[in-house]
Amino acid sequence: MVNKKNILITGGAGFIGFPLAKYLVRKNYKVNIIDNLSRGKFDKEFKDLLKNKNVKFYRYDLNKKIKINFKNISHVFHLAGSVGVKNINKNAYGSFFNNIISLKNIIDTLQNKKKIKIILFSTSEVYSTIIQEKKVKFPIKESNNVLIKNDVIKRDAYFLSKIFNEKILQLSNLNYLILRPHNIYGPRMGFSHVIPELMQRMTNFKKKQSKKVLIFSPRHKRAFCYIDDAILQIVKLSFNTKLKNEIFNVGNMSEEISMIKLANKIKRLFSYKINLKNGEITQGSPHRRVPDMKKTLKFTKIKKFTNLNQGISKTFKWYQNKI
Ligand SMILES: NC(=O)c1ccc[n+]([C@@H]2O[C@H](COP(=O)([O-])OP(=O)(O)OC[C@H]3O[C@@H](n4cnc5c(N)ncnc54)[C@H](O)[C@@H]3O)[C@@H](O)[C@H]2O)c1
């Protein structure tokens, strides 16, 4: 018998996995977490979460066959994987297979457990090629077909692994949801993501009295979604018993902004006395990415979102004494 309140989160020490675990513990779920801590943090906040009797943590590498026996689990949130452009560029081949083998091992463990629902965290980057090839209308709907080109650069390892993850899951016998998050941001995400990275670079430049901060891909636009809004979408979609074998964008389509405008906003909000300068375009970076959220909003009925000013301020508050 599956227990509807007993769930597994892979990657639960990471940026999205941790607040998801925290949210579900507050709602009285029993939360099992697997993470190998390759990127997730074993910090005070995570240790505090582990003090709760309803949380079990397994430090485990999902590249190995899973020997843990998960009884009575109803939902598996599969977030573990290699992420981040710099990280992927350093080890494209290894990252690709980390994402593929991790999912295969999870599916093999769950095979024939038809009552379990697996929620795969894919990415908005699966749309990269259709954006580059100008084969898509903005905002981007989930119903678009994705595309794979003949040539490849290292960074592509990420979205290629996610496209294959989606297909592997669709070919399995499991109930699933595929979520495609779009530029989620907030506290505890590390400095390799755009918003904390900009905050860090601006603070450091201020400290060193340097004159200019380079903004890469300055005209490229992204739609940013604050972490709390993303968690609410994830939870509402995942526990909706009517939703099975579907794909959903996760994000906020009303907060689209160019990198240079974003940098100016951060500069203004925190009164940084620095100059910004347009930098070069990052290789492989799509010029625009904004999700069509109609399908997600229809099923979640979410109406209120955190605006960018509020979200950035909350993020900055968490980061300010860590920079
Ligand atoms: N943050 C975003 O805006 C965003 C956007 C699109 C997609 N996603 C997807 O959401 C998921 C979570 O992203 P995140 O930002 O929280 O990333 P993250 O790096 O903070 O979390 C991933 C976690 O997985 C763990 N991990 C990696 N390989 C593992 C392995 N072999 N075994 C066990 N644990 C392993 C890491 O230690 C880390 O804690 C990822 O799958 C990512 O592709 C995130």
Task: Encode pLDDT of 166-183 as tens digits.
Answer: 999 999 989 999 999 999
Give the Å distance between the CA of 13 and the centre of ligand 1: 9
For residue 83, CA distances in Å to 12, 79, 221, 247 come to 14, 10, 20, 20
Task: Give the residue, out of 20, 35, 83, 252, with the most ligand 1 atoms within 8 A of its beta carbon, to mutate for a pocket test.
Answer: 83
Whose C-alpha lies nearest to ligand 1, atom 18?
A: 14
Whose C-alpha lies nearest to ligand 1, atom 41?
A: 79
> Are 115 and 2 a contacting pair, CB within 8 Å?
yes
Question: Cα 183–23–57 angle (5° rounding)?
Answer: 95
The closest-lying atom of ligand 1 relative to the alpha carbon of residue 225 is 3
Give the Å distance between the CA of 80 and the centre of ligand 1: 5
Give the Å distance between the CA of 202 and the centre of ligand 1: 26
Question: Looking at residue 242, which CATH number applies to its domain?
Answer: 3.40.50.720
The closest-lying atom of ligand 1 relative to the alpha carbon of residue 41 is 39
The closest-lying atom of ligand 1 relative to the alpha carbon of residue 62 is 32
Q: How confident is the model at residue 1 (pLDDT cuts 50, 70, 90)?
A: low
Task: Report the 10 Å Cβ neighbour count for 237.
Answer: 19
Among candidate residues 117, 98, 95, 97, the one with its CA nearest the CA of residue 107 = 117
Kindly report the backbone phi and psi dihedral angles of residue 306, in degrees, each rounded to the nearest multiple of 5, phi listed first. -75, 125
Instruction: For residue 37, tell me if it sits in a domain.
Output: yes
Task: Give the residue, out of 35, 97, 193, with the most ligand 1 atoms within 8 A of its beta carbon, to mutate for a pocket test.
Answer: 35
Q: How confident is the model at residue 317 (pLDDT cuts 50, 70, 90)?
A: very high
Q: Does the pLDDT of residue 70 top 80, yes or no?
A: no
Among candidate residues 121, 124, 84, the one with its CA nearest the CA of residue 290 = 124
Q: Which of 78-82, 224-228, 257-261, 269-273 has the lowest mean pLDDT?
A: 269-273
Instruction: For residue 322, tell me if it sits in a domain.
Output: no
**In the chain, what percentage of residues exceed pLDDT 70?**
97
Q: Does the pLDDT of residue 312 top 70, yes or no?
A: yes
State the Cα–Cα distance between residues 179 and 248, nearest whole angstrom: 5
Write out pLDDT tens, residues 246-293.
999 999 999 999 999 999 999 999 898 889 999 999 988 899 999 999
State the Cα–Cα distance between residues 13 and 35, nearest whole angstrom: 6
- pTM for the whole thing? 0.97
Query: Tokens 């997730």 identify what position?
Result: 40
The domain of 299 spans 3-188+224-254+290-305
Instruction: For residue 313, tell me if it sits in a domain.
Output: no
Check residue 2 and give its pLDDT. Answer: 62
Instruction: For residue 205, tell me if it sits in a domain.
Output: no
Tell me which residues have their CB closer than 6 angstroms to ligand 1.
11, 13-17, 34-40, 61-63, 79-83, 98, 102, 121, 123-124, 181, 183-184
Give the Å distance between the CA of 14 and the centre of ligand 1: 6
Q: Which of 21-25, 204-208, 318-322 has the lowest mean pLDDT?
A: 204-208
* Residue 319 or residue 206, greater confidence: 319
* Total domain count, the chain: 1
Instruction: For residue 239, tell me if it sits in a domain.
Output: yes
Instruction: For residue 162, tell me if it sits in a domain.
Output: yes
The closest-lying atom of ligand 1 relative to the alpha carbon of residue 124 is 6
State the Cα–Cα distance between residues 13 and 48, nearest whole angstrom: 12
Q: Which amino acid is at 172?
A: S
Instruction: For residue 215, tell me if it sits in a domain.
Output: no
Give the Å distance between the CA of 212 and the centre of ligand 1: 32
Task: Report the 10 Å Cβ neighbour count for 86.
Answer: 9
State the Cα–Cα distance between residues 73 and 53, nearest whole angstrom: 17
Instruction: For residue 263, tell me if it sits in a domain.
Output: no
> Are 70 and 8 a contacting pair, CB within 8 Å?
yes
Q: Where are the alpha helices (DSSP H) in the chain?
A: 17-26, 44-50, 85-90, 92-110, 128-132, 156-171, 194-207, 227-238, 259-269, 294-300, 308-319
Task: Give the residue, out of 10, 39, 106, 118, with the most ligand 1 atoms within 8 A of its beta carbon, to mutate for a pocket test.
Answer: 39
Q: Which amino acid is at 199?
A: M
Q: How confident is the model at residue 112 (pLDDT cuts 50, 70, 90)?
A: confident
Segment 109-135 shows an average pLDDT of 93
> Counting Cβ atoms within 10 Å, is residue 242 exposed (0-12), middle (13-18) or buried (19+)?
exposed
Q: Does the pLDDT of residue 207 top 90, yes or no?
A: no
Segment 209-227 shows an average pLDDT of 90
Task: Give the residue, out of 8, 9, 16, with the most ligand 1 atoms within 8 A of its beta carbon, to mutate for a pocket test.
Answer: 16
Segment 40-64 shows an average pLDDT of 97
The closest-lying atom of ligand 1 relative to the alpha carbon of residue 12 is 39
